[in-house]
Structure 1
Amino acid sequence: MADPARARKLAVRIRQIVSAAIESQIKDPRLGMVTVTDARVTSDLREATVFYTVYGDDTAVADSAKALASATGVLRSTVGRQTGIKFVPTLAFVADHVPDTARELDEALERVRHADAELARLREHATYAGDADPYRHPEDDDDPEDVESSSEQRSAS
């Protein structure tokens, strides 16, 4: 077992190397605008997962995934040369859906902000349908008018 700090440092280094290599070495026409967002290395330093996003539609994402799968050997050898470690971890590329989820959340929050603004605008000129405070309070029970009317009702019965 390797030190977790070493695994984190190696993951950061792999992310840097892979992103630079994709930009400069990989000339596959299927490769779109790929951004490496994260890399994670297992604690035994044998496997590395590289997360990426692609700017474009679903076909661009699928084509970029194929291009990265075909370039895995070149990228792994580049990582091995630049890190100088004894055993180079295998690379697995995974499409990162976090930016899509974040964009959906931002859109939902914007819709809620508009709904709140509309509700606040409607609330500015709103009035109560009945009394502003429809509840009974103990001090209301001590009204002299209520006492007189209740005593008259008792004497009538």
Structure 2
Amino acid sequence: MANSRTRKVSEEIKKVVGELILAGIKDPRISKLSSVNHVEVTNDFRYVTLYISSFDPKHDVSLTIEGLNSAKGFIRKEIGKKIKLHYTPEPIFKPDHSVEHGMHINEILGTLDIKHDDDEDDEEDEA
């Protein structure tokens, strides 16, 4: 389990990169509907893995990752300005498909609920 300092640094990095996605980076490949869902910082604070998702159904998250990778130096510099650490961590961007996965599971559960409601109606009719 991550210690308290690692958790705090992760949350601060998440906040900084989230703000940069919204207002700081002017790359057209980066969707403004993208967000940082999860952040993992190594124990020595040398690397940070940021899991990115896009809420725009017309936009491919791989384009956003491409844009963020091209702005990696700028992002690292901004993290260093906002968070005082001995080493500024090197950002690593990965797509996060947990939102799409959750929506898919929700759709499946929705179909199960419909079938379950129909079964209850049949039982009430028989009684």
TM-score by length of 2: 0.89
Does residue 4 of structure 2 align to residue 30 of structure 1? no
Q: Is the 8 A contact 1:34 1:53 kept in 2?
A: yes
Q: How do residues 5-154 of structure 1 correspond to structure 2 at under 5 angstroms?
A: 5-32=4-31, 33-57=33-57, 60-126=60-126
Letter in 1 for 2:12: R
C-alpha displacement at 1:91, in angstroms?
Answer: 0.5
Deviations 1:14-71 (A, max 9, x none): 0011111122210001111211112111112111111111123475322111101111
Q: Is the 8 A contact 2:52 2:94 kept in 1?
A: yes
Q: Distance in 2 between matches of 1:100 and 1:63?
A: 17
Gaps of 5+ in 2: none
Q: 1:23 to 1:8 in 2, by over 3 A?
A: same
Aligned to 1:138: none
Gaps of 5+ in 1: 128-157
Q: Distance in 1 between matches of 2:58 and 2:23?
A: 24
RMSD: 1.7
Q: Distance in 2 between matches of 1:75 and 1:125?
A: 63
Does the residue aligned with 2:85 lie in a helix, a strand or coil?
Answer: coil
Letter in 1 for 2:25: I
Q: Distance in 2 between matches of 1:23 and 1:102?
A: 24
Q: Distance in 2 between matches of 1:7 and 1:93?
A: 18
TM-score by length of 1: 0.73
Q: Distance in 1 between matches of 2:59 and 2:20?
A: 23
Q: Distance in 1 between matches of 2:93 and 2:75?
A: 11
Q: Distance in 2 between matches of 1:54 and 1:79?
A: 22
Letter in 2 for 1:39: V
Write out the 4+ residue segments of structure 1 that deviate beyond 3 Å after TM superposition.
none
Structure showing greater Rg = 1
Q: Is the 8 A contact 2:36 2:51 kept in 1?
A: yes
Q: Is the 8 A contact 1:4 1:43 kept in 2?
A: no
Task: Give the total of aligned pairs.
Answer: 125
